[in-house]
Amino acid sequence: MRPSIVILTGAGISAESGVPTFRASDGLWCGHRVEAVATPEGFAANPVLVHDFYNQRRAQLKAVVPNAAHQALARLSAAYDGDVLLVTQNVDDLHDRSHRGVTPKRGFGLIHMHGELLRARCVETGKTCDWRGDIHIDTPSPFGTLGLRPDIVWFGEMPFQMDRIYDALSGCGLFISIGTSGNVYPAAGFVQEATRAGAHTVELNLDPSQGHSLFQERLYGPATEVVPAYIERLL
């Protein structure tokens, strides 16, 4: 059995598919303050705005497809003789789609730590379900009476499956960070967790992240170029 791998992906891997990055240089996300569309307080203040924002993001998924970087990670999941945990901060479904027609090996797992655009959460019960259409303030929940919200982890909320992620980091032999800014926690701290476990750490990014100096190996360029090239070294 080869060393286990934990891979973290961020907005940079999906940007080349045409998915807007989370925060632009002006501090806005697709023209909106993050506080207005990505916090529980923003949802409570203006649920119509928040639903409209995520309805647009959900609809945009129809116009994008997985790129060569997503496909390289899918090949890794099917060919690597060891555990691979792919943790994405992205709320798109491009990793999921890149695995269609691919049979991952038994040790592969995929975690959307910040949620998914194509899932909805019941405001009353917290239960979730697949959801591909629009959500409005009067859209009934299958589980309760208070309606639905996007199944997205907003600022101030705990990302999903953190215990599983930290457990994998504590035992991994290789940690790869792809397309991340290095300034959003807790994901920005994963490299330090992996280092404490004795793992080799690699940053694959368009430009150096804020935490680039924490990585033992750093390769820079478009994700569609550097990711497939690095993955080929592992196969």
At 99-112, the pLDDT tens digits run 998 999 999 999 99
221 is in an annotated binding site: no
At 178-207, the pLDDT tens digits run 999 888 899 999 999 999 999 999 999 999
Specify whether domain 1-19+66-114+158-235 bears CATH 3.30.1330.40: no
Instruction: Map the chain to HEC letters.
Output: CCCCEEEEECHHHHHCCCCCCCCCCCCEECCEEHHHHCCHHHHHHCHHHHHHHHHHHHHHHHHCCCCHHHHHHHHHHHHCCCCEEEEECCCCCHHHHHCCCCCCCCCEEEEECCEEEEEEEECCCCCEEECCCCCCCCCCCCCCCCCEEEEECCCCCCCCCHHHHHHHHHHCCEEEEECCCCCCCCHHHHHHHHHHCCCEEEEEECCCCCCHHHCCEEEECCHHHHHHHHHHHHC
126 is in an annotated binding site: no
22 is in an annotated binding site: yes
32 a catalytic residue? no
At 141-165, the pLDDT tens digits run 999 999 999 999 999 999 999 999 9
At 168-185, the pLDDT tens digits run 999 999 999 999 988 889
The answer to whether 8 and 89 are in contact (CB under 8 A) is: yes
pLDDT of residue 23: 58
Q: Output 28 or 110, whichever has higher pLDDT.
A: 110
Phi, psi (degrees; rounded to nearest 5) at 160: -80, 145
User: d(Cα 10, Cα 47) in Å, to the nearest integer?
Assistant: 26
177 is in an annotated binding site: no
Q: Which of 51, 70, 99, 114 is catalytic?
A: 114
pLDDT of residue 30: 65
At 71-101, the pLDDT tens digits run 999 999 999 999 999 999 999 999 999 999 8
pLDDT of residue 31: 72
pLDDT of residue 12: 94
At 56-73, the pLDDT tens digits run 999 999 999 999 999 999
54 is in an annotated binding site: yes
Closest to 7 measured CA to CA, from 165, 181, 225: 165
pLDDT of residue 184: 84
> CATH number of the domain at 22-63+120-152, please?
3.30.1600.10
- Percent of the chain at pLDDT > 70 equals 96
- The tokens of 115 are what? 């949620």
92 is in an annotated binding site: yes
What value, to the nearest 5°, has the Cα angle with vertex 89 and ends 83 and 93?
85
**Extents of the domains making up the chain:** 1-19+66-114+158-235, 22-63+120-152
